[in-house]
A = this chain, B = another copy of it.
Amino acid sequence: MSNSINGEITRRGFLAKAGVGLVAANASGTLLGRSFAQLIVPEPPGKKLGWAVVGLGSLAINQILPAFDKCEQSRVVAFVSGHPDKANKLAARYGVNPKNIYNYENYDSIRDNPEVDIIYIVLPNSMHAEYTIRGLQAGKHVLSEKPMANTPADCQAMIDAGRKANRKLMVAYRCRYEPFNQEMIRMARSQELGQLKAFLGDTGFKIGDPTQWRLKKAMAGGGSMMDIGIYSLQAARYISGEEPIEINAMSYSTPGDVRFKEVEETITFQLRFPSGVLANCTSSYGYSGQARFRAVTTDGWFELEPSMWYTGNRMRVNRGNSLAEITIQPKDHFASEMDHMSQCVMNDKEPLTPGEEGLRDLKLITAIYEAARSGRTVKV
């Protein structure tokens, strides 16, 4: 995520006290047809699985490494980086044994390190597939950052590698593991404000450095849709609990803007779901920060704004004649998702957001780009 987003975040310094089991219990019983209940298995207190973080960029340094302090089942034990100096400094800071620092050449030898249970891939999008597959082949479980890969074919190859290796594969859709988005899902399922009619999702930020990998088609796979629009796509799916059947889209890039020579700046997309719910979303690298998910129902609406920065989510509920902000105890998104993955490995359970979930999004993003390109409704 860019510095311009980081600049807007108000760190609350809140340390979540409740474990993942409680997060699940706060949310509705099912998400996209998958039951939470099966995941709530108590673990012996103090047991933590060992994690290797692959890629020490700003997301790893500013968000993921600090989040291990808040984890109950996860601890960082290894790094994989092309920058030994940086890796050594971070190892000293986080108590990682220097022998557990790998580079991209000797990465595969991580198979011989029994301290490492799970690998977290925090590389540019185009590298997720290779490093996920090598990690799985090394006998480790893998959590990959989103988007899962640049193409559905790469996603499928990652899934296949996980099955072949009999290892877990999860996509880091952190919003699924934090209580504000979970409350949106619970309210939609409970229908306490009536039937869901529409989902409105607007996500965007003003991207800076024109040389960054997010603006290179080969590395990023696409523009704002791949990086930030995917949050609205995910939210439309997990809040409705349905899969879209038709897609419209329209995109725009400012002519002559060096940032958008290879990838799209802004894209709006619309999804039709089988129940009749319509989603209307925008995604942009040209906006000031936007992060809003609104669920419109027959009797009111409920929304998060912001909805998906690293911290600071807020929820409002309009019950027709009243508008109220809802107080929810925040949790660290990264700690929650990592502990979920550790729990799944400990208990041999399927993650809430497995590789198949990342594949679904990549297929839909491909269809969104096709709709924008062709000017036609794409049926999926």
**B-contacting residues of A (Cβ < 8 Å)?**
7-8, 193-194, 197-198, 200, 202, 204, 206, 246, 248-250, 252, 254, 266, 268, 270, 272, 276, 278, 280-282, 284, 286-290, 294, 296-301, 318, 320-321, 375-377
Name the one of B198, B280, B288 contacting A287, with C-beta atoms under 8 angstroms.
B198
Interface of A, helix, strand, loop or mixed by DSSP: strand
Q: A248-B248, A320-B8 are in contact. Are A198 and B278 (CB under 8 A)?
A: no
Name the one of B8, B248, B284, B318 contacting A321, with C-beta atoms under 8 angstroms.
B8
In the bound complex, do residue B250 and residue A270 qualify as a contact, i.e. CB atoms below 8 Å apart?
yes
In the bound complex, do residue A278 and residue B299 qualify as a contact, i.e. CB atoms below 8 Å apart?
no
Give min CB distance, A239 to chain B, whole Å: 15
In the bound complex, do residue A202 and residue B200 qualify as a contact, i.e. CB atoms below 8 Å apart?
yes
Q: Which residues of B contact A204 (CB under 8 A)?
A: 296
Interchain CA distance A194-B301 in the complex, whole Å: 30
Q: Which residues of B contact A298 (CB under 8 A)?
A: 206, 286-288
In the bound complex, do residue A252 and residue B272 qualify as a contact, i.e. CB atoms below 8 Å apart?
yes
Give min CB distance, A136 to chain B, whole Å: 39
In the bound complex, do residue B301 and residue A297 qualify as a contact, i.e. CB atoms below 8 Å apart?
no
- Nearest first, the 5 A-B pairs at minimum CB distance are A375-B377, A268-B280, A248-B248, A288-B300, A252-B276
Q: Which residues of B contact A376 (CB under 8 A)?
A: 375-377
Give min CB distance, A54 to chain B, whole Å: 33
In the bound complex, do residue B296 and residue A287 qualify as a contact, i.e. CB atoms below 8 Å apart?
yes
Copies in the complex: 2
Interchain CA distance A266-B279 in the complex, whole Å: 11
In the bound complex, do residue B288 and residue A296 qualify as a contact, i.e. CB atoms below 8 Å apart?
yes
In the bound complex, do residue A198 and residue B377 qualify as a contact, i.e. CB atoms below 8 Å apart?
no
Give min CB distance, A296 to chain B, whole Å: 5
Interchain CA distance A375-B289 in the complex, whole Å: 31
Interchain CA distance A278-B299 in the complex, whole Å: 29
Interchain CA distance A206-B298 in the complex, whole Å: 7
Interchain CA distance A301-B248 in the complex, whole Å: 25
Name the one of B198, B250, B318, B320 contacting A282, with C-beta atoms under 8 angstroms.
B198
Q: Which residues of B contact A200 (CB under 8 A)?
A: 200, 202, 282
Interchain CA distance A39-B281 in the complex, whole Å: 39
Q: Which residues of B contact A276 (CB under 8 A)?
A: 252, 254, 266
Name the one of B206, B286, B289, B296 contacting A290, with C-beta atoms under 8 angstroms.
B296
26 contacts between A and B (CB under 8 A): A8-B320, A197-B284, A197-B286, A198-B282, A198-B287, A200-B200, A200-B202, A202-B280, A202-B296, A206-B299, A248-B249, A252-B276, A266-B278, A268-B270, A268-B278, A278-B282, A280-B280, A280-B281, A280-B282, A284-B296, A286-B298, A287-B297, A287-B298, A287-B301, A288-B300, A288-B318
Name the one of B248, B288, B320 contacting A288, with C-beta atoms under 8 angstroms.
B320
In the bound complex, do residue A278 and residue B252 qualify as a contact, i.e. CB atoms below 8 Å apart?
yes
In the bound complex, do residue A288 and residue B280 qualify as a contact, i.e. CB atoms below 8 Å apart?
no
Q: Which residues of B contact A197 (CB under 8 A)?
A: 266, 284, 286-287
Interchain CA distance A95-B380 in the complex, whole Å: 63
Give min CB distance, A346 to chain B, whole Å: 42
Q: A268-B278, A278-B282, A375-B377 are in contact. Are A288 and B194 (CB under 8 A)?
A: yes
Q: Which residues of B contact A270 (CB under 8 A)?
A: 248, 250, 268, 270
Give min CB distance, A252 to chain B, whole Å: 5
